Structure 1
C-alpha cells in the first residue's frame, strides 16, 4: 500500500507539472505574438521563470504553495490582459483584403458590393479591381467545392463557388485579413494575431492567383445540392459577410477558418453531420464530403480527385477571363439532370 501511495503521489506531481508546462507554453506564445516592444522580452523572461518554477513546484514541498500563488497570479494577469485584445476593422490592410463585401437582396435580385476581381501577374504585381455585380437568385444552378493545397496533402484552403445560368461564378473564401507586410502563420492563428474576412470574388481572380501566382495545386468538386439548398448556402454566406462587417472578429486556426464555415453552413442544411478529423486536416475535406453524399454521385472519390485537379488547365489558360470558369471545368464530373 505504501508503494501504491508513493506511485499515486508521483503520478499526481507529474500531471501537475505537465499542466504547468502547458499553461506556461500557452502564456509564452500569447506574449510572443501579442506583446509589443519593449515589453515582449521582459514579459517572456518572467513567464519562463514562473513557468519553470511552476513545473518544479510539485517536488519543492517547502516552496510549492508560494510558487503556485505567484504563478497563478501571473496567469490571472495574463488572462485579464488577453481579454482586452479586441478585433478591429480599422487597420492598414493588404490590398487584396482591403474591402469588406456586402450584399443587398431585393426579391430574387442579388446585388453584391466589393466583389474582388484583381488581375494577378504575380503575388506582388497586380491590378486591383473591386466591383459591384448583380445576380438573379432564380438562376443559381450549381455549387462547387475548391481545395487549394499550399502545405502538403493534409492542409488546403477551402473555397465555395456558386454558378449561375449565364455562366458566371461567384466564389466565397474565408481568409485572414492581413495587414500590409503581414504573412500567415498557423500557430499565430491560435493567438488572436489576425482578424477574419469573407472575400467574394471572381474565379479568374481567386482561383487563378493560387494556381498561377502562388504555385498551389487546386482541385474542384461539384456539390450534390438541390436549388433550395444552394440558395440557403449562398444566403448563409451573405449573412456571414454581414455579421463580419457589423462586428469584426478574430480568425482562429482551429475554430474559425475556411473549412469550419463550410461545415457550419452544411450543418444548417443537413443537421447532424458528424465532427471529423478531416475538418482539421482540410486537405481531406472533399473526401469527408464524398463520404456523406455531398459530391456528385456515381463516382469513386479517387476518380473525382483525379478529374478535379484543375491546376494544369488554369496554368494553360490565356483567353478571355470570362471563359476561365468553363475552361477549368473541362473533364470534371458534373450532375446529370
Structure 2
C-alpha cells in the first residue's frame, strides 16, 4: 500500500510538472508550429515512458529519469531573461523615465498618441514637467474588455492647472503579439510602466478598443499622493534600467500598484480582489479610499464610457469624463 501511495503521489507530480513543462515549451520556443508540437510530443512521450517504467517495477530509474528530464528543462527555463531589445509594438516602444528634484518632476517618454483606430495613429513621445506642490487629485480608472472579474487598472494624477497625467502598468507587447493571461505565467511578456496623456490612455480603451471604463476619485492626503507619484517614477526608472517579466499573478497592473501603496500606507491587507482586478474599487472602498457613498452609486456615476466616446478628441476630455463623478462635483 505504501508503494502504491508513493507511486500515486509521484505520478501526480509528474503529470502536473509535465503539463507545466509542455506549456513552457509552447509559449517560449521560437520555432514554427510543427517543430514546437513535435518537441512537446517528445517531452510528453518521454514523461509517460518514465511513468511506465515506474509502474512496471523499475521505480527508481523511472523517477530518476524524469527528475533528470525536468532538471534539464528548468536549466533552460532559468536561462530565459527579460530584455529591452525586442521588436516592440509602437505604443509600448518606450518606458517612461523621470527626474525628481525637490517638487519638480520631469517625465521623459510620456506617450501622447492621437488614435483614429487600433492600427491608425500618430506617434508622439514627449517630455513633460510637473510641480508636485500643485498635485491635487488621484483617480482610479478601471477598464474592462470582457474577461469576467478582470479589469485593467490606470491611475491618473490631477494638478491645479487642470492637467492630468495617467500611469499604467502594461505588458510590453511585441509587434503582432496579443495579451494572454496564460502566457503571463510563462515569461511571454516584459513589464512596462508608462505615463500617458490621459486623453491617450483612456481614449484608446473606450473609443478604439470598445472597453467599459469607470473612474473613482481616491481620497488620499496630499503627501501620500506625491509619494505615490514618486513611487511610479521610481518603478519606471528601475524597469528602464533592468527589464522584468510580467506575471499574471505576482507582477501585474494591480500587484505592482499594491506594492507601491504598501510602502506609503501602513497595514494594507492582501486580498483576492487584488487579483480579481475588476473588484479593486470594492477593496479601495473597504480600506477607506473612496467617498462615503454606496459602491453601486460610485460605480454608476463613475461610468464615463459613453461620455468618453461622445467627447472624442475634445481638448476638455478630462473634464468631460469627470462630470457627475463623486468627488468631482465642481467639474462642469
Counterpart check, 1:324 vs 2:327: no
Instruction: Return the match for 2:309 from 310, 315, 318.
Output: 315
Instruction: Return the match for 2:193 from 193, 198, 201.
Output: 198
In 2, Cα distance between equivalents of 1:211 and 1:37 = 36
Counterpart check, 1:222 vs 2:222: no
Counterpart check, 1:100 vs 2:95: yes
Counterpart check, 1:28 vs 2:22: yes
In 2, Cα distance between equivalents of 1:217 and 1:54 = 50
For structure 1, the 5+ residue unaligned runs are 1-5
| TM-score (normalised: structure 1) | 0.93
In 2, Cα distance between equivalents of 1:226 and 1:77 = 52
In 1, Cα distance between equivalents of 2:10 and 2:67 = 13
In 2, Cα distance between equivalents of 1:173 and 1:286 = 16
Q: Offset at 1:176?
A: 0.9
Q: Offset at 1:46?
A: 2.2
Counterpart check, 1:301 vs 2:295: yes
In 1, Cα distance between equivalents of 2:15 and 2:177 = 30
**DSSP-derived class of the 1:207 partner:** helix
Instruction: Return the match for 2:105 from 97, 110, 124.
Output: 110
The aligned length equals 328
For structure 2, the 5+ residue unaligned runs are none
Q: Offset at 1:36?
A: 2.5
In 2, Cα distance between equivalents of 1:230 and 1:54 = 57
- Structure 2 equivalent of residue 292 of structure 1: 287
**DSSP-derived class of the 1:269 partner:** coil
- Structure 1 equivalent of residue 243 of structure 2: 248
Q: Offset at 1:54?
A: 4.7
Counterpart check, 1:16 vs 2:16: no
User: Deviations along 1:309-330, whole A, 9 cap, x unmatched?
Assistant: 1101101114633x11110000
Please say if residues 47 and 66 of structure 2, whose CA atoms lie closer than 8 Å, have aligned partners that are also in contact. yes
After TM superposition, list the pairs within 5 Å mapping 1:158-307 onto structure 2: 158-296=153-291, 298-307=292-301
**DSSP-derived class of the 2:254 partner:** helix
Q: Offset at 1:276?
A: 1.2
Please say if residues 21 and 55 of structure 1, whose CA atoms lie closer than 8 Å, have aligned partners that are also in contact. no
**DSSP-derived class of the 2:154 partner:** strand
- Structure 2 equivalent of residue 45 of structure 1: 41
In 1, Cα distance between equivalents of 2:240 and 2:176 = 23
- Structure 2 equivalent of residue 3 of structure 1: none
In 2, Cα distance between equivalents of 1:244 and 1:52 = 41
Please say if residues 144 and 151 of structure 2, whose CA atoms lie closer than 8 Å, have aligned partners that are also in contact. yes
User: Deviations along 1:111-141, whole A, 9 cap, x unmatched?
Assistant: 1111101111111111111111111110000
Please say if residues 16 and 58 of structure 1, whose CA atoms lie closer than 8 Å, have aligned partners that are also in contact. no
Q: Offset at 1:11?
A: 4.4
In 2, Cα distance between equivalents of 1:55 and 1:308 = 56
Q: Offset at 1:12?
A: 4.1
Please say if residues 17 and 54 of structure 1, whose CA atoms lie closer than 8 Å, have aligned partners that are also in contact. no
Please say if residues 140 and 165 of structure 1, whose CA atoms lie closer than 8 Å, have aligned partners that are also in contact. yes
In 1, Cα distance between equivalents of 2:192 and 2:309 = 27
Please say if residues 103 and 132 of structure 2, whose CA atoms lie closer than 8 Å, have aligned partners that are also in contact. yes
In 2, Cα distance between equivalents of 1:56 and 1:287 = 50
In 2, Cα distance between equivalents of 1:247 and 1:13 = 43
Instruction: Return the match for 2:84 from 74, 89, 94.
Output: 89
In 2, Cα distance between equivalents of 1:69 and 1:13 = 13
Change (3 A) 1:56 1:283: farther
Q: Offset at 1:71?
A: 0.8
What is the alpha-carbon root mean square deviation over aligned residues?
1.8
